[in-house]
Amino acid sequence: MKTKRPTVRDVAREAGVSYQTVSRVINNDTHVSPATRERVMAAIESIGFRPNRAAQIFQTERSHTIEAVIFYGGFNRFLFEMAHTAHQLGYHFSISAISEDEFISSLDSASSRFVDGLLLIPMVELNVTYDDLQRLTDGIPVVQIGAPLGANIPSVIYAQSLGARLATQHLIDLGHRRIAEITGPALNYDARDRHLGYRDTLRDNGIPAGQSIAGDYSLESGYQAMATLVESGEPLTAVFVANDSMAMGALTALRERGISVPDDISIVGFDDIPEAAHFVPALTTVRQDFNLMGKTAIEYLVRLIEDEGAPIQQTVLHPKLVVRGSTAPPRT
Amino acid sequence: MKTKRPTVRDVAREAGVSYQTVSRVINNDTHVSPATRERVMAAIESIGFRPNRAAQIFQTERSHTIEAVIFYGGFNRFLFEMAHTAHQLGYHFSISAISEDEFISSLDSASSRFVDGLLLIPMVELNVTYDDLQRLTDGIPVVQIGAPLGANIPSVIYAQSLGARLATQHLIDLGHRRIAEITGPALNYDARDRHLGYRDTLRDNGIPAGQSIAGDYSLESGYQAMATLVESGEPLTAVFVANDSMAMGALTALRERGISVPDDISIVGFDDIPEAAHFVPALTTVRQDFNLMGKTAIEYLVRLIEDEGAPIQQTVLHPKLVVRGSTAPPRT
DNA sequence: TGTAAAATTGTGAACAGTCACACATGGTAT
DNA sequence: ATACCATGTGTGACTGTTCACAATTTTACA
């Protein structure tokens, strides 16, 4: 029961001009009087017209699209793996890299481009509901990578708080009792869930919360945060760092101060990036497989596209702890 | 003087069937007799028909495209930056991630998708000339990222051999005379040019070439290569490693063997990835700005698209040496 | 062999824009 | 005043494909 999209002719009728004039307006043609343009714009707005990009490309033989041809190989794994999976399933893969304020407009133009499915990879909390999304995108299937656990939206996530629990419990099991934390950015829900997992694990073990310093997931911020932590003078024997990049920065900060890892302080990271095994010392961390997440998300999205009845679900992948050399029992 | 593309009707005339039958064939519809299908396929082949994807999308309202919506932020910088630049210039950005054998088919379907421009990011030598490319893509503008210096193709490159020269000369200036090398994959022209820069610099300084071990740019291969190098027993005081990832692996291999960097052996890398400053010791390396390269390439591509007369050129960016803690004069 | 069913093939129309051109109006230079 | 031009607007034709349906041929089976 899909009502058909309004066309230039509908707009023309509404605005009392010819369809050609509407065409001129949507192409920012000169030779349209300001008054007429105004009227057409109002009509477009009022009936919710979106130009049919396929028809435009068909007619003009121009798509305004640039395609990057990349050979399968080891770099830029995440986006790359998704593109590859999409291709294997018979879909083209395009990227819309936007700032947060372009979010809405990007979604609502998707339907005019006949995008079959959208993959959302937000890094901050989206304050839109699934219903909002559906309305914005005109019902185009959406799968989100990374979302709060239990969120009512088709999504693929790693259980962040579980990962944080594994990391924190590992420290506790080693005998640590003064465990600080370097968190990710506050608006990021992965970061928040990692924080909660850390906090709850301490609480469940009857251990008081340690200091918590906020970073932004960047190498530099990890370096800064660790410096702050050390210079605060607060006693601590272990730090849970919310991602591996920050952990790398943290290790540098400790090394510069002559503090030994893991003898003086144990460090646990999160993500298990390929470099983690080569940090000094090799980093104990929580493994998430981004490629798997991307692949799973694409496959699910294609299922949603091709099977109307496919259920809304959240796929929760379980991270696991990888113990290496950056953790040890505290000095006695 | 563009001859217009053949359509289903042209194919139909050629094959002696109706256009609808042609449509059935290109959509893999059942209900077409094998003989007819065969005949239509031959006709398609013979007149070089490619379905007009815009018309298909227009008609079916399905694009077979998945779009990833990514927020501007620090991750996956390279593709991301290009997508962002393209958007700012009014273009959509899509990725075609292919294996080498899909290369040709990907290029020749580009014209049927009305892609306005192609960005080639090969990681191995392409054995096609610019003319071949132009013919394959039906004249669609192409810009290649990374190519041999002086190649006759629109391209944006970093002067790889210059970078290698800077690195090697730095080692020589410090007093090193036994300088080995860990190279990238042999088929990669960046890797080859880095090797040549290294070789020529030694030659120009009248220093005999050191050992050369091939890696594949991966962390692991750097680790392996350095292990091999050390265990060969050949005396050496410095190693030029063809990229930072391998250098990281190399540092690990040395550390495991109790060999001190830079006291026993100096190491120079290539790329200056963000992590390089946090290696132990911080890595002396050659800086290339990938974002700049991506941005430059997109801007040039758009110029080629929008201005027929824009000249074919190769933009050569100059890398620079970043000296950190992994290099020092050799032990006396 | 007849007849229904299935398989194969063909015809007309529709999709939503843009292009080329036509036309009307009003201002300006001669 | 006349011719010319710029501006603003409208009309008809066209793009290449697929859909719905019709027509024809072949197959299956009583």
Please give, rounded to a whole number of angstroms, the shortest distance from the CA of A209 to a CA of chain B. 29
Rounded Cα gap, residues A50 and A29, in angstroms: 17
Q: Which nucleotides on chain D have any atom < 7 A from a protein Cβ?
A: 7-12, 14-20
CB contact under 8 A, A66 and B251: no
Rounded to an integer, what distance in angstroms lies between the CA atom of residue B117 and that of residue B145? Answer: 13
Residues contacting residue B294 through CB under 8 Å, at least 6 positions apart: B78, B79, B81, B82, B85, B145
**Which residues from A are below 8 Å from B260, CB to CB?**
none
Closest of A170, A289, A187 to residue A239, by C-alpha: A170
Question: Max CA-CA distance within chain B?
Answer: 85
In angstroms, the CA of B94 and the C1' of C11 are apart by 38
CATH number, domain B77-156+291-311, options 3.20.20.70, 3.40.50.11390, 3.50.50.60, 3.40.50.2300: 3.40.50.2300
Reduced 3-state DSSP string for A215-250: CCCCHHHHHHHHHHHHHCCCCCCEEEECCHHHHHHH
Answer for B212: CB within 7 Å of strand D.
Answer: no
> Domain limits of chain B?
8-49, 77-156+291-311, 160-288
Residue of B nearest to A58 (CA): B54
User: Which spans in B257-324 are helix H?
Assistant: 290-306
State which H helix or E strand residue A181 sits in. strand A179-183
A60 touches strand C (CB under 7 A): yes
Contacts of A44 by beta carbon, 8 Å cutoff, 6+ apart: A11, A22, A25, A26
Residues 6+ apart with CB under 8 A from B283: B244, B247, B248, B251, B267, B268, B269, B276, B277, B324, B325, B326
| Token couple for A245 | 């990049």
Name the region of B76 (left: φ>0; alpha: ψ -120 to 50; beta: rest): left
Token output for B272: 């200056």
Q: Which amino acid is at A65?
A: T
Q: Residue A171's pLDDT is what? A: 98
Tell which CATH classification among 3.90.1170.50, 3.80.30.20, 3.40.50.2300, 3.30.70.100 matches the domain A160-289. Answer: 3.40.50.2300
The sign of the torsion formed by the CA atoms of A187, A190, A193, A197 equals negative
Nearest-CB residue to B66 (from A67, A86, A219): A86
In terms of pLDDT, which residue wins out, A152 or B73? A152
The single-letter code of the amino acid at A77 is R
Distance from C-alpha of B243 to C-alpha of A206, rounded to nearest angstrom: 47
* Mutation to test the A interface, candidates B67, B93, B251, most A Cβ within 10 Å: B67
SS3 (DSSP) at B231: helix
Helix (H, G, I), strand (E, B) or coil at B313: coil
**What pLDDT is recorded for position B319?**
97
Q: In Å, what is the CA distance from A41 to each residue of A18, A24, A54, B304?
A: 14, 11, 21, 33
Q: What is the arithmetic mean of pLDDT over A231-252?
A: 96
Residue A232 to residues A211, A237, A302, Cα–Cα distance (Å): 10, 14, 51
Indicate yes or no: strand C within 7 A of the C-beta of B28. Answer: no
Q: Determine the residue type at B199.
A: R
Residue B79 · residue A69 · CB < 8 Å: no
DSSP state of A128: -
CB contact under 8 A, A96 and B70: yes
CA angle, B148 as apex, B78 and B85 as ends, to 5°?
A: 25
Contact in structure between B91 and B302 (CB atoms under 8 Å): yes
Residue (of B220, B273, B272, B218) closest to A73 by Cα position: B218
| B55 half-sphere exposure, CB direction, 13 A CA radius | 8
* A10-27 average pLDDT score: 90
Q: In 3-state terms, what secondary structure has residue A322?
A: strand
Determine, for residues A69 and B121 on separate chains, whether the beta-carbon distance falls below 8 Å. Answer: yes
Show the CA angle centred on residue A200, arms to residues A194 and A205, nearest 5°.
Answer: 130
Q: Is the confidence at residue A62, as pLDDT, over 90?
A: no
Task: Say what the pLDDT of residue B73 is.
Answer: 57
Distance CA A20 to C1' D8 in A: 12
User: Residue A293 has what pLDDT?
Assistant: 93
Answer yes or no: pTM beyond 0.95.
Answer: no
Q: Which of A56, A58, A69, A101 to mutate to test the interface with B (most CBs of B within 10 A)?
A: A69
> A262: cis peptide before it, omega within 30°?
yes
| Proportion of chain A above pLDDT 90, given as a percent | 58
* Å between CA of B49 and C1' of C12: 24
Q: Identical fold at B8-49 and B77-156+291-311?
A: no
Q: Is the peptide bond before B141 cis (omega within 30 degrees of 0)?
A: no
Nearest-neighbour CA in chain B from A203: distance (Å): 33
C1' (D24) to CA (B27) span, angstroms: 23
Domain B160-288 class in CATH: alpha beta
Spell out the CATH class of A8-49.
mainly alpha
Per-residue pLDDT of chain B in tens (332 residues, 90 and over written 9): 345 788 999 999 988 888 989 998 988 887 788 888 898 999 998 888 888 999 999 998 888 888 888 776 555 667 788 888 998 898 999 888 777 777 887 887 887 788 889 999 887 777 788 998 888 888 889 999 989 899 899 999 999 999 999 999 999 999 999 999 999 998 888 999 999 999 999 999 999 999 999 999 999 999 999 999 999 999 999 999 999 999 999 999 999 999 999 999 999 999 999 999 999 999 999 999 988 999 999 999 999 988 878 999 999 999 999 999 999 999 87
Please check whether residue A244 is in contact with residue A167, taking contact to mean a CB–CB distance below 8 angstroms.
no
